[in-house]
């Protein structure tokens, strides 16, 4: 894998299931069983992490067997491991859909079409997705809610999005 390949978080190991080496995996995909179709699931550094050889649906994801795990202890030792796939291993999204990772690196332009920064990351602290913006002039990054009001235009193919930054007091400027 190349170092510039984007990785998409698709799951996290929850630990052992039973005593015969099965593992619980929390799925972050729309269809949990899709985890079995990706082949080798990667660690954050791009190295191999887990290969599900069989699985069945569970409340939060899947329970299954993995090539790398033979015992309950081995499964428990991997508890908490985040699992990724390369972005190009995922199907292309439908028209007017995208993966959040596709936003990373986009220019953030204001209403006057000035580039104010770039999207450094997309975070979710529990309430909704937030765009972390790295200012063009340098300095501290800041967060913008990823809502239709704050990011009214997306031009992913052209490499930018329009943003409406709240005023310093937290209120929006009048139209």
Going by DSSP bridges, is the β-strand pair 107-109/160-162 parallel, antiparallel, or unpaired? parallel
φ/ψ region of 33 (left if φ > 0, alpha if ψ in -120 to 50, else beta) reads alpha
Query: Radius of gyration of the chain from Cα atoms?
Result: 20
d(CA 34, CA 157): 27
Handedness of CA 79, 82, 85, 90 (dihedral sign): positive
Q: What is the pLDDT along the chain (175 residues), one digit of tens a residue?
A: 434 468 888 999 999 999 989 999 999 888 999 999 999 999 999 999 999 999 999 998 999 999 999 999 999 999 999 999 998 888 888 877 888 888 999 999 999 999 999 999 998 887 889 999 999 999 999 999 999 999 999 999 899 999 998 765 454 455 4
Domains of the chain from N-terminus onward: 7-89 (2.40.30.60), 100-162 (2.30.30.240)
pTM above 0.95, yes or no: no
Note the pLDDT of residue 36: 93
C-alpha distances in angstroms, 117 versus 19, 146, 147? 51, 15, 18
Note the pLDDT of residue 5: 61
């Amino acid at each position: 894998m190349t170092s510039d390949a984007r990785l998409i978080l698709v799951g996290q190991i929850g630990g052992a299931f039973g005593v015969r080496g099965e593992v619980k995996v929390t799925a972050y995909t729309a269809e949990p069983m899709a985890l079995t179709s990706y082949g080798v699931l990667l660690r954050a550094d791009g190295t191999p992490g887990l290969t599900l050889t069989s699985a069945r649906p569970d409340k939060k994801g899947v329970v299954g067997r993995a090539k790398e795990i033979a015992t309950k202890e081995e499964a428990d030792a991997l508890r908490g491991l985040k699992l990724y796939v390369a972005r190009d291993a995922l199907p292309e999204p439908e028209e007017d859909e995208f993966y959040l990772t596709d936003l990373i690196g986009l220019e953030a332009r204001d209403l006057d079409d000035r580039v104010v920064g770039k999207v450094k990351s997309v975070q979710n602290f529990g309430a909704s997705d937030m765009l972390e913006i790295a200012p063009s002039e340098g300095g501290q990054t800041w967060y913008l809610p990823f809502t239709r009001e704050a990011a009214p235009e997306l031009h992913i193919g052209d490499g930018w999005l329009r943003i409406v930054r709240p005023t310093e007091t937290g209120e929006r400027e009048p139209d």
